[in-house]
Structure formats: C-alpha cells, structure tokens
Structure 1
Amino acid sequence: MDLMQFLQMVLHADKMGQLIEQYGTLIYVVLFAIIFCETAFVVFPFLPGDSLLFIAGTFCAAGAMNPWFLIALLLLASISGNTINYWIGSSIGHKVMASNSRWIDKSALEKTHAFYEKHGGKTIVLARFTPIVRTFAPFVAGFSEMTHKNFQIYNVLGAVLWIGSLILAGFYFGHIPLIKNNLSIIVMIGVGAAIVPIILGLAWKFGRQLLKKKTP
C-alpha cells in the first residue's frame, strides 16, 4: 500500500472497500497503525480515529472484516498507544511544557492539562471521545504524576468504551442507506473536526505574535 492509497483510505471511505479487496488482511495492520499512532504520539492528533472506527464497523457488517478480531486488535492498539504516551509524558512532559516546540500544539496541551487538573482520572476516559484531546490526555497524565496503576484502570476502561461503541455502532447502523451512502462525508467531518482546530490555533498564535512585534 503506497502513500496515495493510504490517504485515499483515510479521506475517502468508499475506497476502503476496494483496499480490503486488494490487500485483504493488511487492512488490519493499517487500522492498527492509525489508532496506535493517534494515541501514542502527540504529533499525530489529526488522525481521524473516530470516523475510521465507525466506518470499519460498517465493513464488518458487510462481512469484509471480523468485528470481534478487529475490536480485540484495536483495543491492543489503543491501550498500548496510550501507555507509551503516558511514559513519554512522564519522561519529557515537563520539558515539553517549558519549551516552544513547533511540532506540538501547546494551546491544546495546556487546555488538556487544565481539564485534567479539574477532572482527574476521568479525563483519560472522556478524552477517548474527543479528537485532539484524546492524543494529549495520556501525555498529560504522565507528567502530572498520575500513578501507573490508576492510569491503566482508566486507560483500559476508556479504550473498551471507545473502540467497542464506535465499531459496534458502525456494525449495527452502517447499513442504513442515509449513512451508508454518505460515508465519505462522515470521514471528512471527522478529519475536519481534528484538523480545523489545529489550523485555527496556529493562526491565532501567529496573529498574536505579529501584533506583539508591531506593538512599540
């Protein structure tokens, strides 16, 4: 699977069926990689995890994939991804917060940290259903000194609710004509929900920097 085909799968749901026919079980590897990267590394908050889970469920309903194997596989991806993100946060989180890295959305990171300070461990569960925050929450938990045991309780609970609910929702509702015929729109909404806030945040940050330079 080359880069263009990968992007087609992410951005155009109607192409996923063709890729399943062409590559067979390799589609499991691709879905695992997307979910793992979105949850493990703070530089990938734009990956559309929610929409892909739902759409994968619709193809499970069509018999193209095994729903129970897919759920188990993606549970492994999301739990292990969050765990790695937690350890990265515990190792370098304070340095990242103090730095001016261009690769990380500091505004989203700070908002997630504030949310964590208010809601504690529930953040790990609630964040599963919130694009961008989902990627930053385990990182924040790591440098906020949440114990590994408590983190894993919320981590596993959140993964089960997130992966299970969206794949099964796609499995049971994806056959409805209105949904089935507009899967590409659903994907684009998912991508936009993740990317647009990042673009607006960068634009706001850039605008503030320009105003500061112009202010005597």
Structure 2
Amino acid sequence: MDAGAENLNAIAAWAVSLMETLGGFGAGLAIALENLFPPLPSEIILPLAGFTAAKGSLGLVEVLIWTTVGSVVGALLLYGIGAWLGRRRMYAIAERLPLIKVEDVERTEAWFEKHGSKAVFFGRMIPIFRSLISIPAGIERMPLLRFTLLTLAGSAIWNTIFVLAGFFLGANWHIVEDYAGVFQKIVIAVVIVAVVVWVFLRVRQMRRTRTARKVAID
C-alpha cells in the first residue's frame, strides 16, 4: 500500500471514529477542522459522512446541517484571523516580501472590493481556496452578515453534493475522492503556472527597470 492510500485510510478511520463517537456534531467538527487545516480533505470527510448516514448511523438531514454549520464555523475563525491581521499588518508584510509591491496589494484590495462576494461564494466550492478565501474577507472587513450568508450558501451546495454522493454510492464512496482529487490537482497546476508566469514577468520588469536606470545615469 502506498503512502497516499495509507493517509486516505487513516483520515477515513479518524473521520468515521469521530462521527460514530459524536454523531452529527462529529461530522461538523471534522469539517470545521478541515477549514483550518486544508490537508484534511472535505472530499473524503463529506462522502464518508454520507456513507455513515446511508448505514443508518446518522440521519441524512442531520449530516447536511452539521457539516454546513462546521463549514461556517471554520470559515468564521479564519475570517477572525484575517480581521486580526488587518490592512496595516498586511501592508507591512508585503513591503518585506521580495517581488511584491504595495501596488499589487492595492490592486488586490480593489479587486476584492468589487468581486469579493462572488469570490467568497464560489470560493467555497474550489479546493484550497475554500479555506483561504476567508482570510482576505477578514482583512477587508467584509460585512460579517454578508460573509456568513455567502459562506453558508456556498458551503451548503458543496457539502450537499459530496454528502449525497457518499450516501448513494455507499461502500464505493471513495470514487468521489478520486474524481475530486483530479479536480484539486488541476486547480493546483493552474495556481503553480500562474505563480511561475507572474514571477517571470515581475523579474523581467525589475531587470528592465534597473537597465533603464543605468542608462539614465550613464
């Protein structure tokens, strides 16, 4: 058995144990932790919760409610971290990072101010960004009620899809994780390519700026 399969089995065993011990609350707790620690994949926990409901150990509606509550609680905790970080600390950090300009942060803020609601809603349905999107929402102090409702709506859709998939697939719940894993790899690949392209363009811009300054001095 390879390391990936072993990790999947360990997470699955932990999630099942949590749900069998604490019931619906355990499912919600697992998802709240998944928000705070993205290596805990919701793509495994949610179908497992649906499978557990299919066996009769939990009620389906109970699972849907508790997992969505867990998503919102986890997101609110990350929102709080973002609010604590705040704009001042964010700018201070940006000024110390190589290749980052204050103008980049300002453009990001402007973009979030314009598209933040859509980012929070749809971000809840994208691996990795599911957790991360709550932090900029906190930094920008998005109205808490709006953030909570958008998170609730996006999480409810995502959770329902995966819980129902696990419920109807039964013992074959792991099929969901296989397809979700492909989607996650695509997202990661796109992010890596975007970062590489951005770094390349930024370094090229910096070199051109230095060259232009040397010419001006000479």
TM-score by length of 1: 0.63
Structure-2 residue corresponding to 1:131? 127
Structure-2 residue corresponding to 1:86? 79
Structure-1 residue corresponding to 2:60? 67
Q: 163, 170, 176: which one pairs with 1:167?
A: 163
Partner SS state of residue 131, structure 1:
coil
Structure-2 residue corresponding to 1:12? 9
CA separation of 1:21 and 1:150: change in aligned 2, threshold 3 A: closer
Structure-1 residue corresponding to 2:28? 32
**Farther-moved stretch of structure 1 (128-137 vs 63-72):** 63-72
RMSD between superposed Cα atoms in Å: 4.4
Q: 135, 142, 145: which one pairs with 2:138?
A: 142
Q: Deviations over 1:137-172 (max 9, x none)?
A: 111111112111221221221222222222123213
Structure-2 residue corresponding to 1:155? 151
Q: 93, 104, 122: which one pairs with 1:99?
A: 93
Q: Deviations over 1:35-94 (max 9, x none)?
A: 11232x3xx233211332123213322334322222222122111111121122111143
Q: Which amino acid aligns with 2:38?
A: P
Bigger helix share: 2
CA separation of 1:30 and 1:21: change in aligned 2, threshold 3 A: closer
Determine the C-alpha separation between the residues in 1 that align with 2:80 and 2:138. Answer: 6
Determine the C-alpha separation between the residues in 1 that align with 2:93 and 2:177. Answer: 38
- Check whether the contact 1:35–1:78 (CA below 8 A) recurs between aligned residues: yes
- Check whether the contact 1:10–1:187 (CA below 8 A) recurs between aligned residues: no
Determine the C-alpha separation between the residues in 2 that align with 1:149 and 1:198. Answer: 30
CA separation of 1:38 and 1:190: change in aligned 2, threshold 3 A: farther
Structure-1 residue corresponding to 2:215? none
Determine the C-alpha separation between the residues in 2 that align with 1:21 and 1:70. Answer: 15
Residue segments in structure 1 that go unaligned for 5+ positions in a row: 1-6, 102-109, 205-216
Determine the C-alpha separation between the residues in 1 that align with 2:23 and 2:148. Answer: 28
- Check whether the contact 2:83–2:138 (CA below 8 A) recurs between aligned residues: yes
Across the two proteins, how many residue pairs are aligned to each other? 197
Partner SS state of residue 24, structure 1:
helix
- Check whether the contact 2:46–2:163 (CA below 8 A) recurs between aligned residues: yes
Determine the C-alpha separation between the residues in 1 that align with 2:26 and 2:7. Answer: 10
CA separation of 1:201 and 1:185: change in aligned 2, threshold 3 A: same
Deviation at 1:11, TM superposition (A): 0.9
CA separation of 1:116 and 1:169: change in aligned 2, threshold 3 A: farther
